[in-house]
A and B are shown apart, each in its own frame.
Chain A
């Protein structure tokens, strides 16, 4: 287990009487896309928020590259290389694509309290930003305000920002949501290429994408992980079929 990037052990979170996360254990290995699926209400967003640092768990621990994340807030985790995308695209709407990605590069560099030099003329930030924009497939759209981007482009912008963080892992929350077939395919190809940069923990509802892209799948039901395995194993698992895929089929 020495080379797992993300290690989650015994994570639990309750809201009053509701057990949103029930003794969840997961890991993320280098080079893999590990999908997290589950019916609505299974507790996926609560789990994501605990991983990203927005909520503190009641019990259990999360380790990134072997180091415990307890007490590290969301910004700290981002600096450690946890790159996140949001279910509803979360970008700075008035900034251009370039400004958004430059902001991410700036965040990763840790040097925000600089007051004198114009940021948008700073090659140390601009060059890596343009690079990430290219990798995300947004070249040519650098000067477009984020509010004017198409839905799919906004998704790509979030990927570009994630890349700018020099990520150790990607934490993607339903990136396919709202994408048409064409767009989902293209985004899927992009993600496929990303796995070699850093492993991806992919929360998704789009089953096509999940089974096409993932190396492993974990199924979350009522806050518990009921199965973890390869896509074929999961497809064949009778318990999963009964609880979850049965409804889909």
Chain B
């Protein structure tokens, strides 16, 4: 296990963690402020990726595509919030789960109808293609570095938004006491739509960025959605800080686990057994991590409410 490979995987872990953070931040905000569990978040990720692919193909510009992904996801989020989601705030969790599960079916099948089942591919923009030499002589993909940068920027932006702006104050107050902010004259309907659209925009952006590294296809949002849930359970529902730390933990555990566990087992098992045991355990590693966190802290690491 070379040092270079290790550092590369470490960076990959951070990169995937930051993209997960984009997903988790939206989810945790929506739950923290509106008390709503939203399974359709993965669909918004998918919408962003498809919008980026579509616009990039039509215009030849990745950057236009990226802008389109954020706009399209935000718009889709706003529409869904007004049409469906706002009827669910007063309902119990089961209803929210089922209704948003229905939305997944609608979005997925609708997208399949429009685009078919085959994956689309996005090209990395020329300005960000190729690799860069990092201190220590390591070659790393420039695009992935850009993603890390984007993720960090978003994190800083969110912290500033929530911590320093008026909207942020309304969001934090809404998390603490929903009825109170309505009584104080805050337009709840608009605030909720805004929060939902913001979460959607983040998801769409993540979809476009990850879609460029991997591929764009129907259902791409679902594994990410579940990971995002694991992240906010670990981090604590309603906490952006928890979402960041949780996402980094999950991203690193997943990436490093896949790399390290087979090697660890190789030390005292024969290679083929080591690979299968290692791979199987690696795939479960995140969930084991989640279970451990919940045993020790049932509300998550930074959870305010259970």
Judged by CB atoms under 8 Å, the answer to whether A and B touch is no
